[in-house]
Amino acid sequence: MRQAVCTVGLILSLALASCGTAHRPSAVDAAGGSQPFELTVLHINDHHSHLDPEQTTLLLDTGHGKREAVNVDRGGFAKVAGAIKALEKGSAQVLKIHSGDASTGDLYFTLAEGQADADLMETVCFDTFTLGNHEFDNADAGVKKMIGFLRAGTCATPVLSANVRFGPSSPMRDAGLGEAVVPSVVLERGGQKIGIVGLTVAGKTKNSSRPDPDTMLLDEATVAQAEIDRLRNQGIDKIILATHIGYQADQALVKKLSGVDVVIGGDSHSLLGPEQLKRYGLTPEGPYPTRSSDRDGKPVCIAQAWQYGYVVGEMRVRFDANGEVSDCTGTPWLLIGDQFSRGGQPLNPEETAAVRKDIAASGVLRITLPDPRAEALLAPYARQKEAMGATRIATATDNLCLRRVPGSKRDPSRSSLGDACNANERVNAHGGDMQQLVAEAFLQQGRTFFNADLSLLNGGGVRIDLRKGPVTVKDLYTVLPFKNTLVQLNATGAEIKAALEDAVEGVVGPAANTGCYPYAGGLRWQVDLTKPAGARFSHLEIRAADGSYRPLDPKATYKVITISFLADGNDAFTALKSITGERRVEVGLDYAEAFLRYIEKLPGEQKELRPLPVKEYSTQRFIDR
């Protein structure tokens, strides 16, 4: 059995109760004897209030000798509950883990602030839930509210985070709240004690969410080792880290640790699985499970379950009599429905039979019936969500015109409002009012989360105009209908200019994609398409806090807020794809919700939406060729 030694320096530096000093107790303090043992871990992460199923397209064998794009629904928390209940029946010893970010991302959270999520999580009865960074989006008060919802259920799922230290002013320190967040729990399965340690991503939570100012997030590796040592000093020889730090970070973390056996992760929304997923139009980031080793060379098994309730991970871990991992296998089950269509028409019976045969042979796709209890619990929230869609949230004081590319040549009839927009002098000169307004909304959200300097947006990411008059929640989600989330990039001025040049090349190049045309909040420029590629942008100026503008410095690093689609290099924003590692932070906020939050913060009760001042449009001058 591995033992790790606690150091006096660690205790002094972190004031952690380790090696015999007082500590918040785990659920069980005595360890049982060891013997060969198999454990099944069922897990999800980052469901982000996505409680409804969503339509997707998979490449499936329809019996015509080739794979075709077939529409089917995937995910939905009722399917998660149904899958976990079915899978746990097939194993003798099961743990159920949620690795964080239940919060933020869909109208369900806007509507119920976590109550709907907690109610649906109750149908699974998770053994642990790790605090993710988005649990802090509404400050420590939001964490307290979410925990209150979880505690109200009969499961009372333990909430974990070993590296969060709530400050003296935090409502989490209120008298009577008790040990609401614990560093670890010890659970018993088959007479064996298993320690589960929670970790919350530190830098991202402090810089891109909103914990209270005096709430601290300590170094993940240092705290993890201290908690592992404390558990192993009690004789507990099976340790799982339930982390919310990201797949790449998990792999780096285990190399620094001694005594960890399994990591069940979240945060990076990583799809793990076999290469055969590519046959169905999916791209895995790594194998499931990913096999690694700790700093002593002992085996460690790492897993994550993608996002939004699309996947339930099933990891099977075998331990030898010394508590060491001897093997790990498993499946990331992609949860799909049983109705298939193509081009808006249902498949015929022969095609459906071929598709079902293909799914059964996949080893990863799982036709899953929704859990009836979960469906019943969700139904009243779904009705409220539908009603909320009709809620008036703002008034457009003027037509807010859609236009991808300025000028009268490349995108002259984009607007559904006719010549009121298509012939509008401001729109022809500077581009779409809606695109510019959304870019400004992203900038303001980026400033809220991490003091962003500018935002970047593609013209095609915004889909409709808003006519003068009332604006509803449904209108907003029609303006921004895609599944994009916000991302922070730390980019140099040169990289920003390169991305803009790439994007415009996408407009004028062979593909002639007008949706690539860039918009920005807090940054403006002049564009001359008669110039050669790489030299079309000039007079790039960034907005200061006082509203004045200064030249963009090619050598300076700027905090950019953009959408995941562009951060991945899509729509010709190629230069952004190379901004990775610590220079890229997944903010995770749904981009439509970011616009909704912007509207909510507008002054007055009427929340008036109007075109921005012309000086704040990103395209100040446009010359076509």
- Of 386, 420, 436, which closes a domain? 386
pLDDT at residue 177, as a whole number: 61
pLDDT, tens digit, 9 for 90 and up, residues 213-269: 999 999 999 999 999 999 999 999 999 999 999 998 999 999 999 999 999 999 888
SS3 at position 319: strand
Report pLDDT for 324.
Answer: 94
The arithmetic mean of pLDDT across residues 520-539, rounded, is 97
pLDDT at 178: 60
Question: What distance in Å separates the CA atoms of residue 297 and residue 98, rounded to the nearest whole number?
Answer: 28
pLDDT of 534 strictly over 80: yes
pTM of structure: 0.76
Reduce the DSSP state of residue 247 to 3 states and report it: helix
SS3 412: coil
Confidence check: pLDDT of 271 > 50: yes
Separation CA 272–CA 127 (nearest Å)? 22
Pair (395, 381) in one structural domain: no
398 with 381, same domain: the answer is no
CATH number at 480 reads 3.90.780.10
Label residue 16 by pLDDT band (50, 70, 90): very low
Residue 90 domain flag: yes
The pLDDT of residue 24 is 29
- 608 Rama class: left (phi>0) / alpha (psi -120 to 50) / beta: beta
What pLDDT sits at residue 174?
Answer: 79
Do the domain assignments include residue 236?
A: yes
> Looking at residue 606, what is its pLDDT?
85
Under the banding of pLDDT at 50, 70 and 90, the label for residue 440 is very high
Domain final residue pick, 386, 409, 439: 386
**Pair 370, 410 in one domain:** no
Round to whole Å and give the CA distance between 112 and 625: 51
* pLDDT tier at 29, thresholds 50, 70, 90: very low
Pair (464, 605) in one structural domain: yes
DSSP assigned state of 200: E
Within a 13 Å sphere around the CA of 169, how many CA atoms are in the beta-carbon half? 6
Residue 102 maps to a domain:
yes
10 domain residue, yes or no: no
CA distance linking residue 395 with residue 255, whole number of Å: 54
CA–CA dist 86, 93 (Å, integer): 14
Beta strands in 282-324 (DSSP E): 290-293, 299-303, 311-319
* Per-residue pLDDT tens over the stretch 345-365: 999 999 999 999 999 999 999
Which of 333, 277, 327 lies closest to 43 in space, CA to CA?
333
Q: Mean pLDDT across the stretch 333-339? A: 98
Q: What one-character DSSP code corresponds to residue 466?
A: B
Residues 531-536 have a mean pLDDT of 96
Please report whether residue 173 resides in a domain.
yes
Range of the domain at 89: 36-386
Q: Calculate the CA dihedral of residues 292, 293, 299, 302 and round it to 10 degrees.
A: -40
Owner of token pair 């401001």: 426
Instruction: State whether 555 and 472 are in the same domain.
Output: yes
Contact 43, 303 (CB under 8 A): yes
Query: Where do we find the tokens 């959200």?
Result: 445
Whether 95 and 144 map to the same domain: the answer is: yes
CA dist 275 and 525 (Å) reads: 44
Average pLDDT, the chain: 90
Q: Does position 413 have pLDDT exceeding 80, yes or no?
A: no
Give the tens place of pLDDT for each residue, 462-510: 988 999 999 999 899 888 877 788 999 999 999 999 999 999 999 998 8
Sign of the CA dihedral with 340 first, then 344, 346, and 348 last: negative
For residue 2, the tally of other CB atoms under 10 A from its CB is 17
Q: Are residues 274 and 130 in the same domain?
A: yes
pLDDT at res. 8:
27
Q: Both 219 and 233 in a single domain?
A: yes
Could you tell me if 541 and 524 are in contact, meaning their C-beta atoms sit under 8 angstroms apart?
yes
Tell me: pLDDT of 418 over 90: no
Banded model confidence at residue 551, pLDDT cuts 50, 70, 90: very high
The CATH number of whichever domain residue 381 belongs to comes to 3.60.21.10
Task: Compute the distance between CA of residue 99 and CA of residue 579 in angstroms, rounded to an integer.
Answer: 26
Residue with tokens 């995941």: 564
Query: Measuring CA to CA, which residue among 152, 116, 106, 114 is closest to residue 135?
Result: 114
**What are the backbone angles phi and psi of residue 185, rounded to the nearest 5°?**
-135, 155
Split into its structural domains, the chain has a count of 2
- Residue 178 in tokens: 């008790």
Domain-embedded: residue 350:
yes
Of 356, 386, 416, the last residue of a domain is: 386
Tell me, what's the pLDDT at 104? 81
The pLDDT tens digits for 288-316 are 999 999 999 999 999 999 989 999 999 99
First to last CA, the chain: 72
332 contacts 305 by C-beta, under 8 angstroms: yes
Tens digits of residue pLDDT in 449-460: 889 999 999 998
**Predicted pLDDT of residue 208:** 67
Instruction: Tell me what the mean pLDDT of segment 373-391 comes to.
Output: 94
What pLDDT shows up at residue 196?
A: 98
Contacts of 412 (CB under 8 A, 6+ apart): 422
Q: Burial code of 124-136, b = ≥16 C-beta within 10 A, e = fewer?
A: bbbbbbbbbbbbb
Q: Is residue 447 part of a domain?
A: yes
Same domain, 608 and 490: yes
Give the pLDDT band (50/70/90) at residue 410: confident
371 with 412, same domain? no
Separation of alpha carbons 512 and 98, rounded Å:
44
Rounded to whole angstroms, the Cα distance separating 467 from 450 reads 33
SS (H, E, C) 565-589: HHHCCCCCCHHHHHCCHHHEEEEEE
Confidence of residue 435 (pLDDT cuts 50, 70, 90): very high
Asked if 57 and 167 sit in the same domain, the reply is yes
Closest CA to 161 of 174, 188, 143, 149: 143
DSSP state of 411: S
115 and 89 in one domain? yes
